Amino acid sequence: RSTGRVAFLGAAPGGEDIESRAAHDPDALHKLIVDPLAGLAEAEARAFAAGLGLDDSTTAACARTMAGLYRAFVELDASLIELNPLAVVEDGPGSSDVLALDVKMGFDDNALFRHPEIAALCDTREIDPDELEAARCEINYVRMEGDIGCMVNGAGLALATLDLIVDSGGAPADFMDVRPVATRQQVADGFAMILRNPQVRAILVNMYGGGILRCDTMAEGIAAAVRTHGLNVPLVVRAAGTNRDLARKTLTSQGIHALFADDIDEAVAHVVATARAATSAGGRA
């Protein structure tokens, strides 16, 4: 991932604990980074297979399998293809082949529009209903185990906000990244998801207006959600950037009681303290 290129990872033992074994013995995990312009060369694949301890005939079979994997990875916009275990089987006198006994595949959600046949395989019963709702609203959302609801515009800013909460002794209830092109309704739908989470005892909104999404747009979406669902937990808002002051006016003019912080450190300190107080009181604040 750090190279931005397709990589093959392999280990001779296989098994479920391959990552932990590799951490203790880095040489046990073999790696091949593929040049995206040249593609996977047969010689590279053979050398990789030989490094796993395969003999000549099996090395050729493994190289063919790797070529198919690389082609599938690229053509299907995959994010992961895992063969574990990849077994060596006899294929006649003096020759052998490789056989994938178990396969796991993951795909880039943003590319599924190119692969409707793959999207049709999705079993929604295995997906968190809130994550399905977030996908419908085009919001990046992951449910977590904490009690501080978080809404942030920008994935990097959202991750940094969660880190600050944890470093301050708090526990995020979610990761929510509002896209730069989100509409008021999408913001409202996202905030409503946080309001519906029964484990949330305080909410932090960290908005940075800039580019397409302004602070007042996020504020209008939040206000719409509160009008529909109410607000029964404390709300801390840090607004910076385009139309910051207008966002504050939008929320206060509609009777939404929020604590406005001038910087993120102040906002995090307030929301962590508020959530902690609610926990001590044995319920929502």
pLDDT of residue 285: 47
Q: 97 - beta bridge partners?
A: 89
Residue 39 vs residues 8, 34, 36, 284: alpha-carbon distances, Å: 12, 6, 5, 56
CA angle 74–75–81, rounded 5-degree value: 55
C-alpha distances (whole Å) from 41 to each of 32, 52, 82, 98, 155 are 11, 17, 20, 19, 36
CATH number of 129-280: 3.40.50.261
The CATH class, in words, for 7-113 is alpha beta
> What residues are paired with 140 via a beta bridge?
177
The pLDDT tens digits for 70-119 are 999 999 999 999 998 999 998 777 778 999 999 999 999 889 999 999 98
Query: Per-residue pLDDT for 26 more than 80?
Result: no
* Residue 278 in this model has a pLDDT that exceeds 90: no
Say how far apart CA 271 and CA 202 lie, in whole Å: 6
pTM over 0.85: no
- Structure tokens that stand for 184 in this block: 């008021």
* Ranges of each domain in the chain: 7-113, 129-280
pLDDT category of residue 284 using cuts at 50, 70 and 90: low
